[in-house]
Structure formats: C-alpha cells, structure tokens
Structure 1
C-alpha cells in the first residue's frame, strides 16, 4: 500500500510541470489543494485542471470543487467552493484552507476529528461553513468572530465543548446558525438576540446549553425556523415572545417553560411544525389554535400540565396532533378520538371524576399475567419456547396503538424533521444476514423520532426483571453513508431515567450486533411503562434526514415471583391430600378464625385492593432482617402513629421504616390515605416512599433514609446535634421546600394540601437537600378549591389563622406555614410562642416589628456573622412576610414564590395589615430573646454519623412531639 501511494504521488509530481505551465488556477491554490488532499486523504487527480470539472474534481454535487475566474480573458481562477459532503473522510481540517479565497466549505457527514484550526478564520470571503455530522471536539476558537461576512454556520452533531465565545457576536450577517447535538456549557448567550438579528434559522437542539430562554429573543424578527430543545438545568422560562417573528417552524421542546399557552400562536404563520412538548405549560388550549390547526402539519403539546376541556375542533383538525400526558378532561364521547389516526390523547382524564385515563375507559383485565414479550416492529416469533407478540402496525408519527390482545400498547410521538419520505420510518427491517443468537428478535425494530413508549397492562403487581433487546440495523460498518450515523437516546422505566445517552452500536461493539440491557422495576396498578426518548443527540442527517431517535428490537418482561409450576406426575395425589387437609382445618378452626381475624382484616385488605400504588411491596421478614427485628438501637424517632426505625436492605439501601400502631383504627385510615397519596407523588423535594408492608396486624411504610434528619434539629435541636448551615445552604433549603410545595399544589396530577408544613416535616439528605415528609395528614384538593375541614390537622404556631379558627382550608394554608418556616430558617430559632412578663410573642411578631422599625436585618441568625448576601436575605424575609399575610388572597402561589427566590420575578412590597403598637418594653423583650443565642455553639459537621443523627431518645423540649415522617 505504501509503495502504491509513493508511485501515485511520484507520477502526479512528474506530470504537474506540464499542467502548471498552462493552468488557470493560481499556483499557490494548486499547492494548497495538494496539501488539503493529503491531509484529508482525498485522491484528487492533479493531471487535469482542478477548475475544469473533469476527472474526479466534480463527480456530483457532493464531491465538487468550483472555481471563479477573472483577469484578462478569465485566465486567473480561484477555488470558491469545496463540497466534500459524505465522502467518508478521516483526518482534520487542513490549515492550508486559510490561504484560499473560498466562499463555501461543506464537510457534512465525514469522520473528521480535532479542533477547528484558527487558520480557517483567515478566509475573509467565507459565506458558508458546514461542519455538520463529524467528530470535531474542543472549544470554539475566539477567532471565529473574524468571519464577519459569513451567512451560514452549521456545526451541529459534533463533540464541541465549552461556552460559545463572545466573539461570535461579530457575525452580524449570519442568517443560518445551527449548534445542536454538542456538549456546550453555560446559558444561551445574550449576543444571539442582541447581535445576530439577521438570523432566519436558529437551531439549538440538544446543544448542552442551559436555560432559561431569554425573552429578548423577540428581537430576532426575521426568524422563520426556531428550534430550541432539551435545555439543561432546573431554571424555568416564561414563554418567549415570538409574535413578531415570521415563523414557519417553532420547536421549543423540553425547555422547562412555565405559564399558559399564548393565544397569539393561533394566528401566526406556522405551517410546518409547532412543538411545545415536555414543558410545564398550564391552563386550557386556547380556542385560537383552531386556526393554526387548519394549516400546520404537526402540533405537539405532549407532556405538559394543560387542563380544561378537550377543544371541540381537535377531532376535525387537519393537523397531526399529540396532546398526550396532560390533565385535560375528556368526555366518554370524545374518548373515541383515542383510536383515530394522527391523534394521541393518552394519559388525559375522563370527566366522570374517576381519574381514569380517557383512552382506557371501559378497559378491564380478564386475567393478570406474569410476563410480557414483544417482537418490536416484527411478526410473531417463537424464541426459546416463548412466544413474542407481533408489533407490525405502523401508526404514523402520532398514535396510541393497542395490540390485538389488548394487553399492551405503544405510543409514538414526533415527526422526522426535514424528511419528505414518510413511509417505513417507524418500522425498520434488516436486509442483510445477521450472525446473532436469537436472530429472529433482531431482524426488525420499531423506531420513533422523539418518544417511543410501551405499556404493559394487566400485569400482576410485584417486582419484575426487564430485558430490552437492541441491534443497530439502520447504520452499517461499511464505507457508505449509513456507516456515519450515530443514534443516542435515553431510557426510562416507570418514569425513572435508568440510562442516559444510550448508544446501541457503541455498547454492542458495532452496528448489526445485538446488545441487551437488563433493568428491574416494581409494577403497581398492574401497569409497566417503558419509554425511550430522543434528547436531541446523535446525527439527524445521515444516512438521510429521517434516521434518529430511539429504536428497539424486542422486549422481555418476567416476574421475579412467578406462580409455581404444577408437577404433572403427582398432581392428583397432591391435590387430594391438600383438599383433605384443608377441609379438616376449615372444620376445626373456621369459625374461630372468622370471628377473630377475618372480619378485622378484610376491611383493610378490601381498601388496599382499591388503591393503585406505584411502590414496592415488602414482606415482614424483609423488614425484620433490615431493622434487626426492630432493635432498640435502630429506633430513630417516634412518628405520629408509631415508632420509626432505621434499616438496611440486602442490597445495601438504607431505609426508614414507619411502624403504624395496630391499635388505632384512625391509624389504619391514615395508613391507607398515606399509601395512596405518597405512591402517586414523585418529586426531588418530597421524601420518596419505597413501599409498604401489610401482614396481619403489621402496617408499615418504607421510606428513603435521610442522613441529616430534620431541619428542626439542624437549626435548633440539642447543641450537639445541630448542623452548621451557612446562608447558601439555608437559601437552597428555602427554594427546595418551595419547589416541593409548588409541585403538590400545582404540578402533580393530584392537587394536594399538606396541612402540616413545619421544620420537623422537612428532612435533609446527605447533601442537605430538603425533602418534605409526612403526607399522612395531606388532603386532596378535589374539584372544589376550598374546604371546610371538620378535623383540624396541623401544628399550633404554623397553622394559618383561617384554618386554625374556622377550619377553612386551601393551598394558601401551606403558603402561610411555609412563611413561618422561612422565618425560622433565617433566624435560627423556632416559632414556639414565648411569654415574658405575661407578654406573648412569636417570630412572626418579631419580624413585623422589625419591619416597622426598618431594621429587618436584625432578624438574621447571629451565627451567620456577615457571611450572607444582604439583598438575598431581604428578598427572602419579604417573601416570608408576604406568605404570612392574614388575608389569603394576598398570599402568593408557591410557583410565584419559586420564581421570586430564583430571581426571575420581583417580590411585591409587603403592606402590614394591622398596625402594631411599638411598645419599647415589648420590643426589648423580643430583641433580648431572639438575640441571646450564642454564636459560639459547637456545631457539628454534615458528616456526623448516622447514630448521632438518629438518637434513640430525643429529650429536647423543642422535639418532644417530633414526627420523623
């Protein structure tokens, strides 16, 4: 091979003398082309004029060198365009390009690596640079800003890192800017909307950048195509003002956008794709959207928090519409739309108040199963004596599809962008020979551009092992376009992310090779959910603009506790003996058992069967082993209905076990309420319920173990158990509690009022992240938003006045309690009412008096010293005072509180509702009490041992009535 290359270059060099003498291409550019060819491994034929279009200088539009000639009789030429699209080239970008006068460079779809050389930024004539779908890496050079004439810059589908350089602000003539599928960091830079106002296309799809979307993006009024997806971070965005744009495509997917759908979208010129899926949008779908549904091809509102009625125009709209995974109310008549093509309404509620999914109305299980097997995208096959169901219905871009036996279904979301071929894109077949075990499972696959979800119904509740089968049968390992593709997607089981950025070919060791991924899951409500989701990563244009997103070959699901198999040899004998023994036992003990056990147990079990749980079920034996038979040294507290124990499961997972007293019928009722409530609520700032145990008289709840106990003990527990909480940590705790409450009040499908928010019901994990606990007292917010509660549940000092005095309960009661907790966090003292010389006062009284005196900073815990941000503290105090207003309508919502604390909105000035007489004697008593805490307290570190954090006995007067959960 080496001698062959030497011979080629020898002949080329020999022939070049005759070529050069009559060449019309500038000599320095000929030399540059030679060096470029060597660097890229491009075998250009230098025996002919590069500008002639002969030989291999212009074989097609994807292998093209174009020249522009000037001078006398056009004898002097310059290379102006090099298009090497999909030439399978290796190597790096040649530095020699910097000496050319190129106008267009396209390296789309090669295997080029390395960084962008700064020399390329010397091409002052460059208008179009396309580096899409390669393996370039590193940070973008600052010198890119020198390309001030450039109009099109495509760097998507690479491995670039770092922040976008501010020098890109100089590219004011840029019209097409695409940076998706990279590993950038930082927020969307301001210069995009400040300087790049000529943009017509902006694509930030899966770029690695963080939100929020700046509202100033409205300055880009020439945009016709705006795509922003999968922004990192938890910071929310309001809907960006795009009403002045000329948009034909608007994709704002998974951008953490909050608020209502803007009505003006319905009157815009969007005609191709409107995708606002997987955000936190609320409210109804505006009636104005009927107009856009007549002219837009695709409308995706999937995975939001939309509510209200299903718009009547949905059924007759021409658009392909996906509104699955929202809180819309759908009538029985409208639920028939679930089975129509080009519609996906799954996971919205039927209006009869049952909470049942509208698309499952009337669906019942004739029998329960212990396994599920699907040959995704293919026909029914028999593998290892097991039958895999067929999965051959395409369904198109948007559809919820039942299988023929109606024991599983598949939901597809999304369309292949820029793809004109709409056939065969969801069901994929392999056309070549595969050397794979169980090859029948890998000859076909189901694919989806965005989200692909399989649901297993009618499964027996319990623990399951899930095996997902994959083989990349679209891309190849040969020298074709298909060898350049790269597919990445995320895997979710039961709504939990179990693998991020899964690359089939990479894990299998190549294309057309099998790989299986094994996971475990707990099935509750008889339903299993497996979701594969494209998060904007991987190539989107190779081998054509229709291949990306998740792909799966087969699914195998098996119960970890299958029913026992009968023994065919001795079955008759065994049955006879068993029947005889059972009859005798029934005759002797039946009546006694009925009176003593059955009637007591049946009531609870009937109620349990009516619950749809999303948790695991533990045996009493497992719990006893984990807690060393409820050993006294493992006792970590006393809950409202019984003791709490620390435990360790066989896999090393630490747990907290709440043992409910079996003597209290009220406790049983709270137990059922707590299971049903917590199993439906999952959030980073809520204590996670792992499962429950019901055996005989034993009623137990199993929670995640919180290493740093409660916020109450961290702040004002016994001195030896306190944790040093600096201001940054305290501020983080305030925001975390607010986010948890916002989820309970506004974001969860169940609208929940906690009713007992206090520092003992806020627990801290090993990283001091707050999690709200104790939902035994939680109350569902039903259709009526207000309640008159006949059973007041809460803690004096934290309860809102309207609830404590009149039993009037809304979510604003939690807002009030949150305000008290925030004051405690700031001051470091609890809100117990104190009496001095027959004068009573609380931390709220103290805060109001300090406000009237204009000295709110005196409220701050002296232990913090001066190590805090004054503006941040003042905002937090004002939020607390706003939350504790006597008039409920003056209190903010928790989502508003989150927005204020995160700096996205401004806190309203608090107006004191009732004047206080500033009695100096009373003021001095308060000042003395709230300032007497010594700053020399020997705080413990957050790494305190678990045994210290959970003492067997808590003798602090502050914690006498402490509930761990």
Structure 2
C-alpha cells in the first residue's frame, strides 16, 4: 500500500509540474527578428515553419510551439525541417530558436547571410544538400553554436576566418563541403573544439596545427595538404579517433603519436611518413584499428603490436618493412594487411587460424613444400619474383566479371569469367589456372554489414550487355587485379563501370560522390575518377587504355585517395568500384592462351 500511495503521489506531482510549465510558457513568443530570419531562410526553398511535413508542428505562425518545445529529438526524420526553441527567457515570455536542422533536403543555391540573425543557435545543420556559392561569414555571429554541420554541399572558396569567433563550438562537420584554400588557423585554434570532420575538400597549404584544441575525434583525409604533420599534435592527448590521409608532399615522422595513448582508432594512411617502425606499442592499450598503409615505414614489425588485446584491424601494407612475421598474436587481431613489403621467412602457426583475414601479397616469402597449404592457394604467384609462368608465358588475354558469380559472353564473343569469391578486409584470390588474380585491402569504416561486392537488378543504359554491370567489386582502400603469365607486348585494357547506388538528382542521396584513382602498371591513368560524373546513374561507362606488358605480368590498381563522400547514401559508403575488365593483345599471339592441363 505504501508503494502504491507513493506512485500516485508522484504522478499527481508530475501533473501539477506540467500544468505549471504550460502556464508559464503560455503566451511566450519568439523574437520577431528570429522569426523573420527563419521564414526568410525556409521561404527561399519553398518551406515555412508553419507548414512543415509533420502535423505535430503548430500552424498558428508561431514557430516555437508544438514539437519545437517538447522533448522530440530534432534529428527525428519525421521533422524536416526541424527547429527547437528555448522559451525560458524573460520569465518565460520570450523564445529563442536554438536548433535548426535542414539536413538531407537537396536544397540548392546559396546559404543566406541572414542566417547570422539567429544569434542564439546552438545547433545548426545544413549538411547533405546541394548548396553552392561561398560559405557566409555571417556564421561567425552565431557565437552560441556548439555544433555546426555544413558538410556534403557544393560550396566554393575558403572557410571564412570569422568561424574562429565560435569559441563555444565543440563539433564542426565540413567534410565534402567544397571548400578550398588554406585551413584557417582561427578554427584550428578553437580551444573548445572536440570533433572535426574535414575530409574530401580542396584545402591546401601546410597541415593545420590542432594542438590548442580539445579534439577527441579528427578526420581530415582526401585534401591537398603539405607535410610534415606537425609534431605539436603530440599535445592532443584526449584524441581517441585520429584519421589523417593523403598528404601531397613533405615527409612526416611518427614521433607525434607517442603521447596519444588514448587512441582507439589511428589511421595515418598515404601520409608520406618516412620513419622506422616504433619498437614498442604497449602503451596503446585502447587501440582497436591501426592503418599505417601506403607510407615509407622501414624496420621490423614489433611483437608488442601483435600483442595488443583490443586490436582487431592492422593495415601496414605498401611500406618497406622487413624481417619475419611476429611469432604470436592476440585473439582479437583477425584483419591483417602486410602486402607490398619486404617480409620473408617462415609462417608462424597463427596464419592458419580460423576466421583470420590476411594479405601477404608482394613480399619475399618462399612458398613451397610444407608451408604451401597454410594460406589460400596461389600466394606464390603474387610474391615479388612472380614465379607463376614468369618468363614462360602461356596466356595472351583474359576477361573478368568483377564480383559476378557467373560467366557472361558479350556480343563480341568475349568470355567474362566468374569473380564471385568472397573477399574482405585483407584477402586475395588466384584462379586455378593461374591466369589472373585479385587482391583487396581495407575496412569500410563506420559501415554495418559491409560487403565487398554489390549487385543491382536494374536496367542499364548504353550497353548491349546490361547483365555485365549488375555486379561490381568494391573496395574502401586498395583493389588490384593481375594478369599472370602474359606474353609480352602491348595490350588493350577495357574497364567497365556503372554507378548503381547513388541516384540522379533531385534527392539528397544524389549528393553522394564516389571518387577514386586508377593505376595500370604503376602509372596513374585516371585521377579523381567519378563514374557518375561521366554519365547518369545506371549507365555503362567504359575506359580504354593501351598498356605494355614487359615482364609477363599486368597490374590494374583501383585506389581510394580519401576523395568522395563518406556517408551518402549510406554510412561508410565510399571507395572504388569496377564491374568488368577485359585485356586483349594488340599483336598476334604465339601462345595458346590455354592452361597446360587443357592442352
């Protein structure tokens, strides 16, 4: 009975409190200048605060009522556009607009300067639209801002210096916004800043010094910064998620990471780091992901790195590491890329562990006899001395249905072979005939249930073989295809692409951009290639190249250099994609183009 009485007393008390709050806020009005600014902003795109997409909004013309003042979360997709207000000013008679969310609306044109009239804003989000023009300096008037999101737009010009006035700013999302020029020191010096996403822009100049911030998360890949990475970043001792990539020139060292013992994610990919691999990683007890690939690290891999109890992803490919593999590893470490190094010696017992994903392509391992069956077959064909049919060629052409689980014969008689093997974060596959091979590296960051192939049953334009474009092999870092045992000479390489997941405008999902580089025989043949920029979505795109084969070996490399959107249409959706490849000689072959067993 006592518990029952207490329950009802509490219920009555809550009801009386609610009546008090309603009475207090009755008649509260929004500051007229803020109403005018809000209506002008929304009206520019044919929207008004009193005519939103949800009936929960008040229709009286007073924006700070209904869902704007209750406990509804502003990021709830039912409310778009969404605003939230604080009506506690002047004894409950005045409301200020404190949150404005216009994410994912495909808004076009410039962001109006009178956004600066909403001076009490704490949360402002205009991300994932198609806004253009310059970023208004009037944003610098919003000194109460805690979070600002203007990423994934088509702005041009620099980030305004006035954003340095936002001394309360804790979160800034400007990734893929289109900004260029040097990164303002007024922003990189904001002491309250805790989270910054600034990838995939056209920033130039020296890499910024963020040592005066309170950054916990920093993502700044796919720009055009010059090194070195400042050694003062060693003062960012609060950082747990650090992702830096794609430095254009200048050499950096790893010295600055020594004090960053709170890291759980460390990605320093393609950063022109020239250094000796640190010998002791034991202080990084929280580290879960480490990517130091595509640098110039030398020395040996320390055992302390393989002993980290939480580390699950380790990418050290495309360096100059030497020596042997560590003799032991933690149970958590199940994704390992050590490709394109100078490693050798014998394989430790852990390389045959179940569920382990490991790529050891392009090293100096001698694979024969007892260790030949430890790893997936064909690794001997992909070591640096290329032993399979090297200097004894038997092939002169091949074609691949990338990611496809069935052969397809095109109208010109080309047979595109199956490429349906399940590849992942660190893996490779060599055909039984040792004719061609594929190697993948990389983890789709922040994506759930990421797949390294994609399928679409849609109809494709501008092709006589639409079925060829229904599948694609995709990669968040590096994807390589190889031709093995080819007769030397010039070849025509045809690459086939189609964008299947990013739709055409007008929808916020069409703001996504897939951008990657393509190398053939180590030479850059396409930089910042965007499939959809060439044609509409669901349209076949082909590229033709004439390339020499001089050592019976062909390499086609699809490489993500940090460009393109990270999270549109889905979180963690980025990287290279290819639907099919064909390779044919520009000469009269003297080899059979058949495996020995079929002769």
Q: Secondary structure at the match of 1:546?
A: coil
- Equivalence map 1:355-394=2 (5 Å): 358=380, 360=382, 364-365=388-389, 368-378=394-404, 379-384=406-411, 385-394=413-422
Partner of 1:319: 334
Partner of 1:110: 129
Q: Give distance in 2, aligned partners of 1:565 and 1:528.
A: 17
Normalising by structure 2, report the TM-score. 0.84
Q: 1:397 aligns with which of 400, 422, 425?
A: 425
The 1:184–1:50 alpha-carbon spacing in structure 2 relative to 1, beyond 3 Å, is same
In the TM superposition, what is the alpha-carbon distance from 1:242 to its structure 2 partner? 1.6
In the TM superposition, what is the alpha-carbon distance from 1:28 to its structure 2 partner? 1.7
Q: Does 1:85 align with 2:103?
A: yes
Q: 2:487 aligns with which of 448, 451, 460?
A: 460
Contact 1:463 1:523 survives alignment (8 Å): yes
Q: Does 1:543 align with 2:569?
A: yes
Q: 2:502 aligns with which of 475, 483, 494?
A: 475
Q: Deviations over 1:173-213 (max 9, x none)?
A: 111122211111111133x22x22x1111122112111111
Q: Give distance in 2, aligned partners of 1:236 and 1:316.
A: 35
Q: Does 1:562 align with 2:588?
A: yes
Partner of 1:151: 170
Q: Secondary structure at the match of 2:83?
A: strand
Q: Give distance in 2, aligned partners of 1:449 and 1:540.
A: 10
Q: Give distance in 1, aligned partners of 2:216 and 2:237.
A: 8
Contact 1:447 1:550 survives alignment (8 Å): yes
Unaligned runs of 5+ in 1: 1-20, 567-965
The 1:565–1:260 alpha-carbon spacing in structure 2 relative to 1, beyond 3 Å, is closer
Structure with the higher fraction of residues in strand conformation: 2
Bigger Cα displacement from structure 2, 335-344 vs 486-495: 335-344
Q: Give distance in 2, aligned partners of 1:43 and 1:470.
A: 42
The 1:532–1:335 alpha-carbon spacing in structure 2 relative to 1, beyond 3 Å, is farther
In the TM superposition, what is the alpha-carbon distance from 1:548 to its structure 2 partner? 0.6
Partner of 2:449: 421
Partner of 1:35: 40
Partner of 2:17: none
The 1:528–1:339 alpha-carbon spacing in structure 2 relative to 1, beyond 3 Å, is farther
Contact 2:388 2:434 survives alignment (8 Å): no
Structure with the higher fraction of residues in helix conformation: 1
Q: Give distance in 2, aligned partners of 1:364 and 1:352.
A: 12
Q: 2:541 aligns with which of 511, 515, 537?
A: 515
Contact 2:367 2:380 survives alignment (8 Å): no
Partner of 1:15: none
In the TM superposition, what is the alpha-carbon distance from 1:405 to its structure 2 partner? 3.7
The 1:514–1:486 alpha-carbon spacing in structure 2 relative to 1, beyond 3 Å, is same
In the TM superposition, what is the alpha-carbon distance from 1:267 to its structure 2 partner? 3.4
Contact 1:430 1:444 survives alignment (8 Å): yes
Q: Deviations over 1:543-592 (max 9, x none)?
A: 111211100011010011133899xxxxxxxxxxxxxxxxxxxxxxxxxx
Q: Deviations over 1:111-135 (max 9, x none)?
A: 1111111111101111110111111
Q: Deviations over 1:714-747 (max 9, x none)?
A: xxxxxxxxxxxxxxxxxxxxxxxxxxxxxxxxxx
Contact 1:335 1:358 survives alignment (8 Å): no
Partner of 2:456: 430
Q: Does 1:451 align with 2:478?
A: yes
The 1:36–1:122 alpha-carbon spacing in structure 2 relative to 1, beyond 3 Å, is same
The 1:144–1:501 alpha-carbon spacing in structure 2 relative to 1, beyond 3 Å, is same
Q: Give distance in 2, aligned partners of 1:59 and 1:154.
A: 19
- Equivalence map 1:191-340=2 (5 Å): 192-193=210-211, 195-196=212-213, 198-233=214-249, 235-245=250-260, 246-292=262-308, 294-313=309-328, 318-331=333-346
Q: 1:411 aligns with which of 416, 435, 439?
A: 439
Contact 1:337 1:343 survives alignment (8 Å): no
Q: Deviations over 1:466-518 (max 9, x none)?
A: 0111111111115444312101111000111111111111122x221111111
Q: Secondary structure at the match of 1:312?
A: coil
Contact 1:347 1:358 survives alignment (8 Å): no
Bigger Cα displacement from structure 2, 167-176 vs 59-68: 59-68
Partner of 1:185: 204
Q: Give distance in 2, aligned partners of 1:463 and 1:335.
A: 42
Partner of 1:573: none
The 1:435–1:498 alpha-carbon spacing in structure 2 relative to 1, beyond 3 Å, is closer
Q: Secondary structure at the match of 1:295?
A: coil
Q: Give distance in 2, aligned partners of 1:53 and 1:78.
A: 14
The 1:240–1:135 alpha-carbon spacing in structure 2 relative to 1, beyond 3 Å, is farther
Q: Give distance in 1, aligned partners of 2:528 and 2:41.
A: 35
Unaligned runs of 5+ in 2: 1-25, 52-58, 369-377, 593-599
Q: 2:365 aligns with which of 335, 350, 358?
A: 350
Partner of 1:60: 78
Structural RMSD (CA): 2.8
Normalising by structure 1, report the TM-score. 0.53
Q: Secondary structure at the match of 1:440?
A: helix
In the TM superposition, what is the alpha-carbon distance from 1:380 to its structure 2 partner? 1.3
In the TM superposition, what is the alpha-carbon distance from 1:367 to its structure 2 partner? 6.5
Q: Give distance in 2, aligned partners of 1:301 and 1:320.
A: 11
Q: Deviations over 1:9-33 (max 9, x none)?
A: xxxxxxxxxxxx9663222211111
State the number of aligned residues. Answer: 536
Contact 2:28 2:95 survives alignment (8 Å): no
Contact 2:473 2:578 survives alignment (8 Å): yes
Contact 1:156 1:178 survives alignment (8 Å): yes
The 1:564–1:200 alpha-carbon spacing in structure 2 relative to 1, beyond 3 Å, is closer
Q: Secondary structure at the match of 2:145?
A: coil
Q: Give distance in 2, aligned partners of 1:92 and 1:74.
A: 35
Q: Does 1:175 align with 2:203?
A: no
Contact 1:416 1:545 survives alignment (8 Å): no
In the TM superposition, what is the alpha-carbon distance from 1:92 to its structure 2 partner? 1.8
The 1:358–1:382 alpha-carbon spacing in structure 2 relative to 1, beyond 3 Å, is closer
Q: Give distance in 2, aligned partners of 1:333 and 1:456.
A: 29
